[in-house]
């Protein structure tokens, strides 16, 4: 039995190894390409924020704030938290950096790690990655539909199929209080059948019960009053128009009257995108979001309508792996630089830089001295040409070009080799 390493990664955290980095890079590139088309600009916020930003913005009754945040007191006495989600920090930056004074709408996107203390399971880590995008200053329901469309387009660009949008409206301060009373009344009559967490939620925020994953709670919720039947006129009109826009762009959606999302800042539209298959359902939500018209004011800014969406990188990667979606390989090295002896090594180091500046992909094994070993490596990386620089060639200012397919060799001047390789590759 091998000895257990002295140091191991913390529970729920992981190393992102090279074989997964290509997926991360692919998702980043697709997100950047799609959101840039729609006029979004990138923003990065600190990993650490004041704890109150989340307790006030996300909601004290949420699982994120109540159970999952990594919070600590600094030596200076500040109470800070590793960010558990991306919207509240971006709203903080929007307010603090004076973006309210800029021409609107403001469109921002981000990509980075987040932290929640929860039970590790499939694609659910304590350090996890998300991308997201936010629109500030637009109330029109067409923006809700566009944010959903962008989320959907990103997943489609990643070659995921059978995608389904689940959508609901959770109203606003005009109609939600009445619905919460109605829901609480229904649930109180069934409190004895609720899980321990939902009994607590019933006192703090009964809407959270709609988000419970316990089977016995889901059965009770399935018969509960639906908020969509109790929307005020404005929220009803807004939601109706969102659905009409989705119909117009022919996105596949399904009304889910019990969808609320796990954060308190949402108003009106909420949505989740899943892969509509047993395997996809088991994996969970790939992208989600909604409108949060009250959050900017709640955190100290002006009354500003806003809407956004985000995607879970690890879940999307797993969905891609489940579907055996291939990622393009890194650029294949066109040449392999083999060298023998100290002088050849020195000249090869400079020559490699010349090829980099010429944008010709090259490979090498500078730490090796055996020509046989180096040519074997050139075969493995499937280089078209091996450039051999020995002690004699280094003294003469020449280099050998070897065609790896035919074995033919020719000797040319060292200062001509970059142009000669360019010419050969063009053929």
Q: Which residue has the tokens 């020195």?
A: 346
- Say whether both 48 and 135 belong to one domain: yes
Helix, strand, coil percentages in the chain from 3-state DSSP, rounded to 5: 45, 20, 35
Question: Mean per-residue pLDDT for 138-144?
Answer: 96
- Say whether both 247 and 345 belong to one domain: no
For the cut 90, the answer to whether the pLDDT of residue 158 exceeds it is yes
User: So what's the pLDDT on residue 146?
Assistant: 97
User: So what's the pLDDT on residue 328?
Assistant: 78
User: So what's the pLDDT on residue 20?
Assistant: 92
For the cut 70, the answer to whether the pLDDT of residue 369 exceeds it is yes
Question: Mean per-residue pLDDT for 26-52?
Answer: 97
Residue 34 pLDDT grade (very low, low, confident, very high; cuts 50, 70, 90): very high
Q: Who contacts 358 (Cβ-Cβ below 8 Å, separation ≥6)?
A: 418, 422
- Say whether both 30 and 154 belong to one domain: yes
Q: What is the dihedral of CA 50, 297, 291, 241, to 10 degrees?
A: 180
Query: In this prediction, what percent of the chain has a pLDDT beyond 90?
Result: 72
Q: Which two tokens stand for residue 137?
A: 């200053």
- Say whether both 403 and 269 belong to one domain: no
Domain membership flag for residue 328: no
Domain membership flag for residue 374: yes
Last residue of a domain, one of 291, 322, 353: 322
Distances, alpha carbon 230 to alpha carbons 76, 170, 182, 358, in Å: 49, 10, 10, 65
- Say whether both 257 and 379 belong to one domain: no
User: Half-sphere exposure of 224 toward its Cβ, with a 13 Å CA cutoff?
Assistant: 31
Domain membership flag for residue 66: yes
- Say whether both 397 and 259 belong to one domain: no
User: So what's the pLDDT on residue 60?
Assistant: 78
User: So what's the pLDDT on residue 25?
Assistant: 95
- Say whether both 90 and 164 belong to one domain: yes
Q: What is the pLDDT of residues 162-171, one digit of tens each?
A: 999 999 999 9
Q: Who contacts 25 (Cβ-Cβ below 8 Å, separation ≥6)?
A: none
For the cut 60, the answer to whether the pLDDT of residue 1 exceeds it is no
User: So what's the pLDDT on residue 354?
Assistant: 92
Q: How far apart are CA 17 and CA 34, in angstroms?
A: 26
Last residue of a domain, one of 322, 343, 359: 322
- Say whether both 302 and 415 belong to one domain: no
- Say whether both 162 and 82 belong to one domain: yes
Q: What is the pLDDT of residues 358-367, one digit of tens each?
A: 999 999 888 8
- In degrees rounded to 5, what are phi and psi of residue 358? -85, 0
For the cut 90, the answer to whether the pLDDT of residue 277 exceeds it is no
What is the CATH number for 379?
Answer: 3.40.50.800
Q: Who contacts 318 (Cβ-Cβ below 8 Å, separation ≥6)?
A: 122, 123, 283
Q: What is the pLDDT of residues 169-182, one digit of tens each?
A: 999 999 999 998 99
User: So what's the pLDDT on residue 280?
Assistant: 83
Domain membership flag for residue 201: no
What residues are paired with 385 via a beta bridge?
335, 403
Inter-residue contact 126 to 13 (CB < 8 Å): yes
What residues are paired with 106 via a beta bridge?
136
Q: E-assigned strands of 224-361?
A: 253-255, 267-275, 287-291, 306-312, 335-339
Q: What is the pLDDT of residues 244-274, one digit of tens each?
A: 999 999 999 999 999 988 778 899 999 999 9
Domain membership flag for residue 26: yes
Query: Hey, how many other C-beta atoms are within 10 angstroms of the C-beta on 336?
Result: 25
Domain membership flag for residue 183: no
Residue 315 pLDDT grade (very low, low, confident, very high; cuts 50, 70, 90): very high
User: So what's the pLDDT on residue 2?
Assistant: 66
Residue 281 pLDDT grade (very low, low, confident, very high; cuts 50, 70, 90): confident
Question: Mean per-residue pLDDT for 318-340?
Answer: 88
Q: How far apart are CA 143 and CA 344, in angstroms?
A: 61
Inter-residue contact 409 to 401 (CB < 8 Å): yes
Helix (H, G, I), strand (E, B) or coil at 145: helix
Pairing verdict, β 335-339 and 362-364: parallel
User: So what's the pLDDT on residue 211?
Assistant: 83
Looking at 29-38, 118-127, 154-163, which range is the least confident one?
A: 118-127
Q: What is the pLDDT of residues 207-246, one digit of tens each?
A: 888 888 888 998 999 899 999 999 999 999 999 999 999 9
User: Half-sphere exposure of 129 toward its Cβ, with a 13 Å CA cutoff?
Assistant: 18
- Say whether both 33 and 93 belong to one domain: yes
Q: Which of 91, 84, 88, 89 is nearest to 106 (CA)?
A: 91
Residue 327 pLDDT grade (very low, low, confident, very high; cuts 50, 70, 90): confident
Q: What is the pLDDT of residues 372-390, one digit of tens each?
A: 999 999 999 899 999 999 9
- Say whether both 380 and 235 belong to one domain: no
Q: Which two tokens stand for residue 163?
A: 């995608």
Greater pLDDT, 170 or 205: 170
Inter-residue contact 113 to 47 (CB < 8 Å): yes
What is the CATH number for 239?
Answer: 3.30.930.10
User: So what's the pLDDT on residue 121?
Assistant: 82
Last residue of a domain, one of 322, 345, 375: 322
Inter-residue contact 388 to 402 (CB < 8 Å): yes
The pTM of this model reads 0.88
Q: Which two tokens stand for residue 122?
A: 């499939």
Domain membership flag for residue 360: yes
DSSP character at residue 121: B
Inter-residue contact 267 to 171 (CB < 8 Å): yes
- Say whether both 164 and 308 belong to one domain: yes
- Residues spanned by the domain of 151: 18-175+231-322
Looking at 234-238, 304-308, 389-393, which range is the least confident one?
A: 389-393
Domain membership flag for residue 257: yes
Q: How far apart are CA 75 and CA 96, in angstroms?
A: 24
Domain count, the chain: 2
């Amino acid at each position: 039995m091998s000895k257990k390493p002295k140091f191991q990664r913390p529970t729920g955290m992981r190393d992102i190894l090279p074989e997964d980095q290509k997926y991360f890079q692919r998702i980043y590139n697709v997100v950047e390409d799609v959101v840039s088309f729609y006029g979004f600009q990138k923003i990065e916020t600190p990993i650490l924020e004041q704890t109150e930003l989340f307790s006030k913005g996300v909601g004290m009754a949420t699982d994120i704030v109540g159970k999952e945040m990594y919070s600590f007191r600094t030596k200076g006495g500040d109470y800070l938290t590793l960010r558990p989600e991306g919207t509240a920090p971006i709203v903080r930056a929007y307010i603090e950096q004076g973006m309210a004074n800029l021409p609107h709408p403001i469109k921002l996107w981000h990509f980075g790690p987040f932290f929640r203390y929860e039970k590790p399971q499939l694609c659910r880590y304590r350090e996890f990655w998300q991308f997201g995008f936010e629109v500030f200053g637009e109330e029109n329901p067409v923006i809700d539909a566009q944010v959903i469309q962008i989320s959907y387009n990103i997943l489609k660009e990643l070659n995921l199929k059978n995608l389904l949008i689940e959508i609901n409206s959770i109203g606003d301060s005009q109609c939600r209080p009445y619905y919460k009373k109605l829901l609480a009344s229904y649930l109180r009559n069934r409190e004895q059948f609720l899980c321990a967490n939902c009994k607590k939620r019933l006192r703090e925020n009964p809407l959270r019960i709609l988000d419970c994953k316990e089977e016995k709670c889901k059965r009770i919720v399935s018969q509960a009053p639906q908020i969509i039947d109790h929307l005020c006129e404005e929220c009803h009109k807004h939601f109706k128009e969102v659905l009409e826009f989705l119909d117009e762009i022919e996105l596949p959606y399904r009304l889910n009257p019990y969808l609320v999302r796990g954060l308190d800042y949402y108003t009106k539209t909420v949505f989740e995108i899943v892969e509509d298959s047993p395997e996809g359902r088991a994996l969970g939500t790939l992208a989600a979001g909604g409108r949060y018209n009250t959050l900017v004011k709640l955190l100290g800014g002006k009354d500003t309508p806003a809407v956004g969406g985000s995607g879970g990188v690890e879940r999307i990667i797993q969905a891609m792996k489940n579907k055996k979606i291939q990622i393009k390989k890194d650029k294949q090295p066109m040449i392999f630089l083999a060298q023998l002896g100290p002088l050849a090594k020195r000249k090869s180091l400079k020559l490699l830089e010349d090829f980099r500046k010429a944008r010709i992909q090259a490979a090498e094994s500078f730490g090796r001295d055996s020509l046989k070993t180096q040519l074997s490596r050139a075969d493995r990386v499937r280089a078209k040409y091996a450039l051999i620089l020995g002690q004699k060639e280094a003294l003469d200012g020449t280099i050998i070009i070897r065609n790896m397919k035919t074995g033919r060799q020719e000797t040319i001047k060292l200062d001509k080799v970059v142009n000669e390789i360019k010419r050969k590759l063009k053929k």
